[in-house]
Amino acid sequence: MSSSKKRKSNKNTDKKQSFPKSETIGKKINKKPIDLGAGAIVKPALKGKATDKGGKVTAPVKKTKGSRKKTADVKKTTQSIDKAAKKIDKTLKGIQKEAIEVRKVAKDGNYASPGPEKKKLSHEEKTSENREIVPASGKAPSIPTRHSHKKLWIILPIVFIVIALGVLAGLYYYALYFNKPNFEINDYNKILQSTSGPVAPGQEIQYSIEFKNTGNTDITELSIETEIPANADVISSSSNSKVSADGKKITFYIAGLAKDLDGKVFFSVKVKNPLDNGTELKVSDAMFNYISRKKQKQFILSRDMVNTVKSSPDFSNFKLSFKDLNKDKISIGDDILFTLTLGNSGDMDAANIKLINLLPDKFILYENSLQPAAVFNKDTGEITWDIAKISTGEVKDFSFKAKISDNFDNLETFKDTASVIYENKSINNVFVEDKVFGFPNFSNSTNTVEHPAAGDVWAGDSLKYTINVINSGLRAGEDIELTCPIPEGTAYVKDSGSQADFLEYDREANILKWKIKTIGVNETISFTFETRISGSFIRGGTVESAFYIKGDGQYFNIAPAVKKVRSYIFQTIVCMGDSQIVVSNWPAYLDGALESTYPHAEYKTIGSGVPQQMAYQGVRRFDSTVAVYHPQIVVIGYGTNDVGSGISLFAAGIQELIDKAKGIGATVIVHSIGYIDTDIQPAKKGWQSYNDVLQEVCANNGVPYVDIAGPMSENPGLYVSSDGMHWTPEGGQLVAHFVFNTMRNYLDGEGKRK
């Protein structure tokens, strides 16, 4: 083989020759080592300025308010991290030492690894082999020994263990320092109340929430929400608080809270009054919402605080009284009004109460006089009121009337008793007693009033009074006087009083008096007189008598006779339109027709006409000239000036006027355009078509349409003036007549709008 081929062969051999795997490892180990100082902690490059302290690279730290304070957990965590760092430093030193030894072995060429026995080679093969394994530098490659491999496999697991310890130390730091919660269940965070145990209605309770940021970070947007006890109202609270719309929760807003700082919020409530005994007032959870490390977080502080209401009704305000309705000595035949007053002065509403009154012996109950309704047991004489509820502070009256029977002896005593029963117990008992005198008895005397004419009573009508004086007592009455003040709002009709021989009329006092010398037992004497109702009752009212009998130790108010007087009918009518109202004054004729037809009705008929005005212009003044009168009826009369302006504009104006009148609750009547002589007023040709549109608008709105054009056209010379358009007084009367006939359909028999 030629030398050139040999060289070529050597070149190919050089290309294919590769280093053993151990050589590759050697190359990695022989890379420039990282010079790690003793105890150094490897960290990624830090942005900004850094300082070198004792061989440690430290990033600048921004000091916060509480950064100088170290909790026990933080110190412990830092010590653990330093200890782990020292272990890593020690291990790295060992790795560095081993790497130096490996490089030293490789440099000396001490390769003692055993291998398979080599066969003997020729001189050329040896030369070729030597050429392949000798590098260009002429130095033998560094080959690690088996001893160095063994040490590396011992060191690597140790490195991984140390790294794992470092990771665990970092997690410990993250869990106990970096991620330490801001709020925890401890003595710093609690809910307190000013009063524990029973409370009374109306009592005040203050709740306070104390809190502290025990975490390692500042927090922002802190809010604390808690519930407001049911049956209590918030009366004061911290200034940064807000009560929910339903009144069930209160929220406190704290802008931010640095670590290690604490705070306190409060709210005070007033227990509602009244409130049932045993009612519970509860406050439990407080919800903390805040932002920490840019994350929304929540903490619930739980504590069940319960106050129980202690309350009860108080029926000590219980009274019993009576009144002789004859306003004199209590005598046989008198009517007695008994009144029971029961009040609850306690701090709790009471339910299901019974009030029992024992009717005095020899009294006769007017069962229809029980107020409010009650149950009367005729066998026992008990009157029982079942009271569903009496609220605290509430006072209720109960009454009944009873008549003293004829079985009483003179100066005999009667006794009335009453008791309150609550929760099946008698709570309070009261009684009243007095003596009965035997005197003449006029309690059965009567008084009636009649209207001589049938039907309702109006101002100006006359009334006839009849008084029957009856002695139902045990003896005759002597020197008795019947006094009849003339009822207010009426006048005595001269010489209308009966028993004239015993009658005196005091004109100045307006009083009639009959003097009775003697009236026997069970005797009845009748007296009559008449009065006339004055005009002061034009708006209605009540005529009521106040007659009485006195003498012989007796005073008795005769039951009043009452008569209701009807109010006149007051109606306001507005007739709005153009100059036809001004010229003809037809609304005045309408007013006369109404009042003559309905004598007990008072009409205020207003003519609101503006010359040359059209319908759409009437719309503009409606509120200021029509609506201000609050009319019950509005009569609309436009069109004379609208003819020629356009049917659409006219129709729109009428429609708006109808809507406005209905909008104020008025009944609407519309009359047509009157007859127009187009020979005299050629510009008004086609006026009939405006009436057609007017009739159509009325029909669409359910409004009555009064045709006056037809009747006028029968005698235009009488109803229309010489200008061929405006109405004469006769024309105005014609319009009033037809409007009145239509309006009657919307009035009742007395002239009031239906």
Distance CA 533, CA 491 (A): 7
Contact criterion met (CB below 8 Å) for 355 and 338: no
Report the alpha-carbon distance of residue 437 to residue 402 in Å, rounded.
Answer: 16
Query: How would DSSP label each residue in 220-240?
Result: EEEEEEEEPPTTEEEEEE-TT
- Residue scoring higher pLDDT (611 or 453): 611
- Whole-number pLDDT of residue 15: 40
Place of tokens 């490892």: 25
Beta bridge partners of 590: none
Highest mean pLDDT among 80-89, 147-156, 163-172, 499-508: 499-508
Q: What is the DSSP annotation of 613-645? A: --HHHHHHHHHHHTGGG--SEEEEE--TTTTTS
Strands (E), 407-510: 412-422, 425-436, 446-450, 462-470, 477-485, 490-492, 503-506
Q: Is 341 left (phi over 0), alpha (psi -120 to 50) or beta?
A: beta
Distance CA 375, CA 634 (A): 56
Which CB contacts under 8 angstroms, 24+ apart, belong to 415-418? 415/360, 416/320, 416/322, 416/338, 416/357, 416/358, 416/359, 416/360, 417/320, 417/357, 417/358, 418/318, 418/320, 418/340, 418/355, 418/356, 418/357, 418/358
pLDDT category at 150 given cuts 50, 70, 90 is low
State the average pLDDT over residues 632-646: 95
> pLDDT > 90: what percent of the chain?
60
Distance CA(306)–CA(297), nearest Å, equals: 28
Lowest model confidence (mean pLDDT) among 6-10, 181-185, 732-736: 6-10
pLDDT tier at 173 (50, 70, 90 boundaries)?
low
**Predicted pLDDT of residue 147:** 54
**Band (88; pLDDT cuts 50, 70, 90):** low
pLDDT at residue 83 greater than cutoff 60: yes
pLDDT at 46: 33
Sequence-distant (≥ 6) Cβ neighbours of residue 42 within 8 angstroms: 36
> Is pLDDT above 70 for 590?
yes
- What does the alpha-carbon distance between residue 161 and residue 481 come to, in Å, rounded to a whole number? 128
Quick one: average pLDDT of 699-712? 96
Amino acid, single-letter form, for residue 443:
S
Alpha-carbon distance of 618 to 727, in angstroms, equals 20
Of the candidate ranges 94-98, 221-225, 688-692, the one whose mean pLDDT is the lowest: 94-98
pTM score over 0.85: no
Q: How confident is the model at residue 591 (pLDDT cuts 50, 70, 90)?
A: very high
The pLDDT assigned to 89 comes to 63
* Nearest partner of 370 among 382, 353, 388, 352, judged by Cα: 382
Encode 547-563 in three state secondary structure. CEEEECCEEEECCCCEE
| pLDDT at residue 616 is higher than 90 | yes
337: β partners: 323, 401
Size (the chain), residues: 754
Beta-carbon neighbour count of residue 388 at 10 Å?
8
| pLDDT tens per residue, range 119-145 | 444 444 444 444 444 444 444 444 455
State the Cα angle at 481 between 477 and 482, rounded to 5°.
115
Cα–Cα distance, 529 to 497 (Å, whole number): 4
Q: Tell me if 191 sits within 8 A of 153, measured CB to CB.
A: no
Average pLDDT of span 336-340: 96
User: For residue 177, what pLDDT band results from cuts at 50, 70 and 90?
Assistant: low
Among 485, 447, 483, 469, residue whose Cα is nearest residue 563: 447
Token pair of 520 as six digits = 């026997």
Q: What is the pLDDT of residue 23?
A: 33
80-89, 325-334, 444-453, 583-592: the lowest-pLDDT one: 80-89
**What local confidence, expressed as pLDDT, does residue 20 receive?**
37
Spatial separation of the C-alpha atoms in residues 566 and 538, rounded to whole Å: 8
Mean pLDDT value of segment 659-674: 96
Token pair in block for residue 717: 């010379």
| Bigger pLDDT: 634 vs 106 | 634
Rounded to whole angstroms, how far apart are CA atoms 321 and 432? 7
Query: Tokens standing for 566?
Result: 């009807």
Beta strands in 108-240 (DSSP E): 190-193, 197-199, 204-212, 219-227, 232-237
Answer yes or no: is pLDDT of 664 > 50.
Answer: yes
3-state secondary structure 371-397: ECCCEEECCCCEEEEEEEEECCCCEEE
Q: Is 171 left (phi over 0), alpha (psi -120 to 50) or beta?
A: alpha
Of the pLDDT bands very low, low, confident and very high (cuts 50, 70, 90), residue 552 is: confident
For 366-409, write each residue's pLDDT tens digit: 999 999 999 999 999 999 999 999 999 999 999 999 999 988 87
Residue 60 pLDDT more than 70?
A: no
Question: Average pLDDT of the chain?
Answer: 82
Q: What span, in angstroms and rounded, lies between the C-alpha atoms of 175 and 173? A: 6
Residue 565's nearest CA partner among 534, 596, 595, 604 is 534
**Under 8 Å between Cβ of 731 and 709:** no
Residue 437's pLDDT is 78
- How high is the pLDDT of residue 271? 94
Q: Would you place residue 148 in the very low, low, confident or very high pLDDT band (cuts 50, 70, 90)?
A: low
Question: Euclidean distance between the first and final Cα of the chain, in Å?
Answer: 143
Taking the C-alpha atoms of residue 554 and residue 701, their distance in angstroms, rounded to an integer, is 70
∠ Cα 202 204 208 (to 5°): 155
Check pLDDT > 50 for residue 339. Answer: yes
Structural domains in the chain?
22-42+66-110+121-180 (no CATH), 190-309 (2.60.40.1530), 317-436 (2.60.40.690), 446-567 (2.60.40.740), 569-746 (3.40.50.1110)
**Residue 106: pLDDT over 90:** no
Q: Which two tokens stand for residue 622?
A: 């409606």
Choice between 42 and 583, residue whose per-residue pLDDT is larger: 583
Between CA 484 and CA 589 the distance in angstroms is 46
Residue pair 403/472 in contact by the 8 Å Cβ criterion: no
What are the tens digits of pLDDT across the range 316-328? 999 999 999 987 6
Residue 720 has pLDDT above 90, yes or no: yes
Gap between the Cα atoms of 465 and 530, Å rounded: 6
Lowest average pLDDT, out of 326-330, 528-532, 715-719, goes to 326-330
- Please tell me the predicted confidence (pLDDT) of residue 51: 37
Say which residue the tokens 């009965």 belong to.
Answer: 436
pLDDT at 676 over 60: yes
pLDDT score of 507: 92
Residue 224 has pLDDT above 70, yes or no: yes
Whether pLDDT at 543 is above 70: yes
Residue 676 near residue 725, CB atoms below 8 Å: yes
Q: Does residue 706 register a pLDDT over 70?
A: yes
Q: What is the pLDDT of residue 87?
A: 62
CA distance 530 to 487: 11
